[in-house]
């Protein structure tokens, strides 16, 4: 427990147990209405804070970080991804930046399987039919989807989430292929087939799961050219970041029938997603809820606070990224 309580700006509403711990150990500036602050509002509130606990919804670009008051010592992100936060700018200002790895892995892998199953078995289409009271018959040709069991799954990005997704997919007897910057050790591969060249993997993918981070080199990684290399009728799922998929190319492939379906939890410009997705029957859509379990959201908050506790105690935080 910290003796002289630092002041912590909490940009969004957090789980009750996390906020209780903040009230115990910090002078918390909370956001009870869970309202997204404008840049000016954020900077105004930062004037009273020693550290910030933001989410991926906050814009902490270089321009914003340059305007932060000198008293800000740390940015403890309530997220694994830090693409919303300019790490180089924070480093120049001497601001420690952390994230929350590991604790989202199981929840995000679970959601990836949900996206695969929901897209393959036309779940959203069927639910809409029932909710509208329009289901009135059955026949062998009714609501026929794609079976997941025994199919080939390609994973782009075999980090923590990719590896657990592969483990869950093996429960469906899927054959796992993956593309990664580096090949995994055999004990982590568990029989998965490594492709140093993405183009060699794509023709083998009945399902393709995007699990890579948002980096300059992954922007629009799945584009029209690469979609064309997938088998006809393949299914694409994305629980990583919207930026890794060329949305124009994805929508065109879904409309043409090149892809049978897609399952999406992340989008460019979210929450303002393109209407094309909502108008397509062969897309299973979720609102960026990969980490949305009680267990995971608590663990994310506690991990962020563990990092802050270390920083204000003069120790190196476990999850420092800048």
Catalytic residues: 241, 270, 288
For residue 240, is it left (φ>0), alpha (ψ between -120 and 50) or beta? alpha
Full DSSP string of 194-262:
E-SSHHHHGGG-SEEEE-----GGGTT-B-HHHHHTSPTTEEEEE-S-GGGB-HHHHHHHHHHTSEEEE
Which tokens is 296 given?
Answer: 């995971």
- Could you check whether the bond before residue 90 is cis, i.e. omega within 30 degrees of 0? no
Which token pair is 35? Answer: 């309202």
Helices (H) and strands (E) in the chain, counts: 13, 12
CA 243 to chain CA mean position, Å:
11
């Amino acid at each position: 427990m910290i003796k002289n309580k630092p002041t912590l700006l909490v940009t969004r509403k957090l789980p009750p147990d996390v906020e209780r711990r903040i009230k115990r150990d910090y002078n918390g500036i909370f956001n009870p209405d869970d309202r997204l602050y404008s840049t000016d509002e954020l900077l105004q509130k930062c004037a009273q804070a020693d550290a910030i606990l933001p989410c991926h919804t906050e814009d902490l670009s270089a321009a914003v970080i340059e305007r932060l008051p000198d008293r800000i010592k740390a940015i403890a992100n309530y997220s694994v991804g830090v693409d919303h936060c300019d790490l180089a700018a924070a480093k120049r200002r001497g601001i420690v930046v952390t994230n929350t790895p590991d604790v989202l892995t199981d929840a995000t892998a679970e959601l990836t399987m949900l996206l695969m199953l929901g897209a393959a078995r036309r779940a959203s289409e069927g639910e809409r039919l029932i909710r509208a009271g329009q289901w009135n018959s059955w026949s062998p040709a009714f609501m026929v989807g794609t079976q997941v069991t025994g199919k080939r799954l390609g994973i782009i990005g075999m980090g923590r989430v990719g590896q657990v997704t592969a483990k869950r997919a093996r429960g469906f007897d899927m054959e796992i292929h993956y593309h990664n910057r580096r090949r995994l050790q055999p004990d982590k591969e568990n029989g998965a087939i490594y492709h140093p060249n993405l183009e060699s993997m794509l023709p083998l993918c009945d399902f393709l799961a995007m699990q890579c981070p948002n980096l300059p080199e992954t922007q629009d990684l799945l584009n029209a050219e690469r979609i064309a290399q997938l088998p006809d009728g393949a299914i694409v799922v994305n629980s990583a970041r919207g930026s890794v998929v060329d949305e124009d190319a994805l929508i065109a492939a879904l409309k043409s029938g090149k892809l049978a379906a897609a399952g999406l939890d992340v989008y460019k410009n979210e929450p303002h997603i393109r209407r094309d997705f909502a108008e397509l029957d062969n897309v299973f859509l979720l609102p960026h809820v990969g980490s949305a379990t009680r267990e995971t959201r608590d663990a994310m908050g506690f991990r962020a606070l563990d990092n802050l506790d270390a920083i204000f105690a003069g120790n190196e935080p476990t999850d420092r990224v800048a």
